[in-house]
Amino acid sequence: MSKSAKILSTGRPSARNKAATLASLADDAGTKRVNFELSADQHTKLKIYAAKQGKTIKELLTEYVASLPE
């Protein structure tokens, strides 16, 4: 091997530099990411409904949450 070859290391890259990783994952200071699972059938139903409304799933769910009472 040549001297310019990089040395490989084990482990997750995110574990080596947590501060930079957290900053890169942050959306906007005023937003939060929501993640949940749906069955394939539920996802298809939601996707079709959103398409019929001319919206994305994100737009549809964001509007729904905004309409909830406080």
* Residue 2 domain-assigned (yes or no): no
Confidence of residue 30 (pLDDT cuts 50, 70, 90): confident
Name the residue range of residue 52's domain: 35-70
Q: Taking the complete model, does pTM exceed 0.85, yes or no?
A: no
Domain count, the chain: 1
Q: Using H for helix, E for strand and C for coil, what is the string for the chain?
A: CCCCCCCCCCCCHHHHCHHHHHHHHCCCCCCCCCCCCCCHHHHHHHHHHHHHCCCCHHHHHHHHHHHCCC
* Residue 56 domain-assigned (yes or no): yes
* Residue 25 domain-assigned (yes or no): no
Confidence of residue 45 (pLDDT cuts 50, 70, 90): very high
